[in-house]
Structures are given as C-alpha cells and as structure tokens.
C-alpha cells in the first residue's frame, strides 16, 4: 500500500468557480491565471478543465510553451513578459503574448526580426509600484509598440494592489487612474484580478484575470470562500498511521514543545513540510479526522504531524485526515500558519499524487 497523502482535485469545483467569474463579469473575456503549476493543482490539468476560458495567464515562456505542447490553443499571456531577447523567437513560434512593462523589453522587441508578429499587453503601473510603465510614459510606449514591425495586436493592463480590502481607497484611485490613462487608447483593457472581480465592479473591463478564486480560496479579507459562492478544488488528505496513549507530562515531537496535559490519545498522520504542509503551523491548527475537527500538537516534521485525539478516542490507524479543502477552508489553515492560501496551494509538493474526480472525457485528454 502506498503512502496515503493525496491531493484530491475536483474538476466540477474548478468549472463552478469559473462560472462564478462569469456571473460577476458576464460581458468580459476571462483570462484564467494558471501560473505556478496552476496554483499547485497542475498546469495542464487546470487549463484543460478551464477550457471555457478565453485565454490563460502564466509567468514565463516555459509555462506558455508547456501549455501549447499540452494542446492549448487559446491566447496565452506572459504576465511578467519576457526576460531576455533570446526568448522572442520562442514567443513568436508559440503565439505567446508578453506583457511589455519596461524600456529594455521595448528595445528588444523593436530590434527583433521575427517570423511572426507578436500580440502584446502594455503594462502600466497605476499604483502597485512593481512592474509597468509609469503613467507619464504610457503614451510614448504605446506609440512605439504600434510602430514596431514585430508587433501585432496591442492590449493594455494594470494590476490592483489592495483590492482584497474593500475599505482601502487605493483601489478606487487605481481604477480611476487606469480609466483616465486608457480612455482614448482604443485598446482592449484588463484590470480586475480575483478581488477586483468580486468587489470592484468598475474594474471589470474588457478582460478579467481570475487567479485564486478559480481554485476556491477567498480573494478578500473578511469574506470566506463559501460566502462568495466558491468551492474548494483541492482537498489535501492523508491518514492516521498510528495512535498511541500518552501519559500526562510526556513530550511530543521535536523539541518537546507540546506536553500532554493529561493522559490522552495522540495520532500520527502521514504528512509534513516535505509535502508542503506549513512547518510553522502552530499547535491548535485544525485538521479533520473522520470528518470531525482535531488539533495539531507538537512541531510539524518533514513527513509526519501529531494530533490531539481526545475528542475522538475511537480514532484508529487508517482513518482519513483532511488538512484543508472540503469541510476545512484552506484560508483558515493559512491564517493559523501566518500565511496566505496562495502559498499553501502552490507549495504542495510534487511527491503528493494528484487524484482527479468529476473529470470529463475531453478533460482527460
């Protein structure tokens, strides 16, 4: 019997979450963001399951080429653009659409002799202050792209920095700045990320770019995924591999950080930081054992965690343990561990098998 740790992926939930995007922005085209191995779910699988999307967003040419090689024919945007002029022939060959966000990229694309014209996305910095042309540089950059022999269609985008907080005025300012800058450009526009899609209607323009909401995690602070009508796509699951009666005062795990306050059953589950479970998850972080809550105790090890089973004295080796997913939101575990759901999902290790349910024949490829 193989190690019981599994990431169960629900294709129906992923399609449902895409439908929720359409509900919020029915007039917009959808660029489904599948970078970072589909947020840990699998790049090709996520794209196949999201085949109803209008385009896909990835971080690099390598991810874009991998999608093409898996059979994806939709538009693919490289959200960080290209990193070196040597990549441009690959982009042209695969029809990948880079974000153009700084002067060196402009010079490279102006100097390139390509067999195929590139569609590109002009990236404007409206307040994120990460990548993108400054507002006062945008018009000149656009003029150069339009004059470039190697460039075909041009679209324009920016990125919201604080949209997860409905009370933050920075988002309203960014939206107004972007709309003012692009009003007379005559280009298709994209601004809304997951939080923008859910909470900021004015940001839902020609294109929307959902990421985390597709995978069933909440893009907003103070609002749970279920409240937003999202379903978890990944359930990280394992099983108990041992249950022991421990005496009052006995120390559990590395460093003896947890000492049993009374005689109690302690379970050991086959999952750890080597699998992507957060090492810094503190005692008290919840899991589900046989569908009921139990608490993490002791330090997370590379391959194992220990659990307080006082509320489930009947639990035994082989019983299922859910770390997050169905019945236990990943956002709750992320908050307990002092991180975000994005990190937990993206860090699920390759050694964890992905087991897919509710997949159509077309999605199986």
Which of 330, 354, 353 lies closest to 342 in space, CA to CA?
Answer: 330
Is there a contact between 174 and 160 (Cβ–Cβ < 8 Å)?
yes
Euclidean distance between CA atoms 130 and 147, whole angstroms: 26
172 carries an active-site annotation: no
Check 146, 248, 254, 316 and give the catalytic one: 254
For residue 295, is pLDDT > 80? yes
Percent of the chain whose predicted confidence (pLDDT) is above 70: 98
pLDDT above 90 for 56: yes
Contact 297, 264 (CB under 8 A): no
pLDDT tens digits for 156-214? Answer: 999 999 999 999 999 999 999 999 999 999 999 999 999 999 999 999 999 999 999 99
Catalytic residue among 35, 123, 189, 231: 35
User: How far, in Å, CA of 65 to CA of 53, rounded?
Assistant: 18
So what's the pLDDT on residue 361? 63
Position 359 scores a pLDDT of 74
Mean pLDDT of the chain: 96
In tens, the pLDDT along 349-362 reads 999 999 998 777 66
At 365 the pLDDT is: 59
Say yes or no to pLDDT of 41 above 70. Answer: yes
User: Residue 290 is encoded by which pair of tokens?
Assistant: 């046989």
Joined together, the tokens standing for residue 81 give 């653009």
What are the phi and psi torsion angles at 238 (to 5°)? -145, -155
CA dihedral sign, ordered 357, 361, 362, 365:
positive
**Chain segment 113-152, per-residue pLDDT in tens:** 999 999 999 999 999 999 999 999 999 999 999 999 999 9
- Residue 185 annotated as part of some ligand binding site: no
Tokens (6 digits) for 171: 């988002």
Percent of the chain predicted with pLDDT > 90? 97
Backbone φ and ψ of 237, nearest 5°: -135, 150
Task: Report the candidate in 161, 181, 182 with the shortest Cα–Cα distance to residue 172.
Answer: 161
Can you read off the two tokens belonging to residue 321?
């343990």
Domains defined along the chain, listed by start = 11-215 (3.20.20.10), 234-357 (2.40.37.10)
CB atoms within 10 A of CB 279: 13
Residue 130 annotated as binding? Answer: yes
Active site residue 35: yes
pLDDT tens string 220-264: 999 999 999 999 999 999 999 999 999 999 999 999 999 999 999
Residues 11, 13, 14, 15: is their CA dihedral positive or negative? positive
Number of helices followed by number of strands (H, E) in the chain: 12, 18
Is-above-0.75 flag for pTM?
A: yes
**CA dist 88 to 117, 147, 189, 287, Å?**
10, 18, 24, 47
Question: What's the CA gap between 289 and 269, in Å, rounded?
Answer: 10
Greatest Cα pair distance, the chain, in angstroms, is 77
pLDDT, position 7: 98
Tracing tokens 């005496």 back to the chain, one arrives at: 247
Phi-psi region of 297 (alpha: psi -120 to 50; beta: other; left: phi over 0): beta
pLDDT of 1 strictly over 60: no
Residue 82 has pLDDT above 60, yes or no: yes
Nearest to 70 by CA among 361, 364, 352: 364
If you average pLDDT over residues 87-107, what whole number do you get?
97
Q: At what angle do helices 103-111 and 135-147 cross, to 10 degrees?
A: 10
Q: Which residue has the tokens 């042209």?
A: 92
Q: How far is Cα 96 from Cα 311, in angstroms, rounded to an integer?
A: 54
């Amino acid at each position: 019997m193989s190690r019981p740790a599994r990431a169960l992926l629900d294709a129906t939930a992923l399609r449902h979450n895409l439908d929720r995007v359409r509900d919020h922005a029915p007039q917009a085209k959808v660029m489904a963001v599948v970078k970072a191995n589909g947020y840990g779910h699998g790049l090709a699988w996520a794209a196949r399951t999201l085949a109803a999307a209008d385009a896909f967003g990835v971080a690099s040419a390598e991810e874009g080429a991998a999608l093409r090689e898996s059979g994806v024919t939709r538009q693919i945007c490289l959200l960080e653009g290209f990193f070196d002029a040597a990549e441009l022939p690959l982009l042209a060959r695969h029809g990948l659409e880079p974000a153009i966000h700084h002067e060196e990229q402009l010079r490279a694309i102006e100097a390139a002799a390509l067999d195929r014209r590139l569609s590109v996305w002009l990236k404007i910095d409206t307040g994120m202050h990460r990548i993108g042309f400054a507002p006062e540089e945008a018009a000149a950059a656009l003029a150069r792209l339009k004059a470039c022999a190697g460039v075909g269609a041009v679209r324009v985008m920016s990125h919201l920095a604080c949209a997860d907080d409905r009370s933050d005025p920075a988002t309203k300012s960014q939206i107004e700045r972007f709309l003012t800058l692009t009003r007379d450009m005559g280009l298709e526009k994209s601004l809304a990320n997951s939080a923008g899609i859910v909470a900021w209607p004015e940001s839902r323009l020609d294109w929307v770019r959902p990421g985390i909401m597709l995978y069933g995690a909440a893009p907003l602070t103070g609002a749970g995924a279920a409240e937003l009508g999202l379903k978890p796509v990944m359930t990280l699951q394992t099983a108990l591999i041992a249950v022991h009666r421990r005496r009052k005062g006995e120390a559990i795990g590395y460093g003896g950080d947890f000492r049993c306050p009374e005689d109690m059953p302690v379970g050991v589950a086959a999952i750890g930081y080597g699998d992507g479970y957060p090492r810094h998850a503190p005692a008290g972080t919840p899991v589900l054992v046989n569908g009921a809550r139990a608490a993490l105790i002791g330090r997370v090890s590379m391959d194992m965690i220990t659990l307080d089973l006082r509320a489930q004295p009947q639990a035994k080796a082989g019983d299922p343990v859910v770390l997050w997913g169905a019945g236990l939101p990943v956002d709750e575990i992320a908050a307990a561990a002092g991180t975000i759901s994005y990190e937990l999902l993206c860090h699920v290790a390759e050694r964890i098998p992905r087991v897919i349910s509710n997949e159509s024949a077309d999605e199986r490829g």
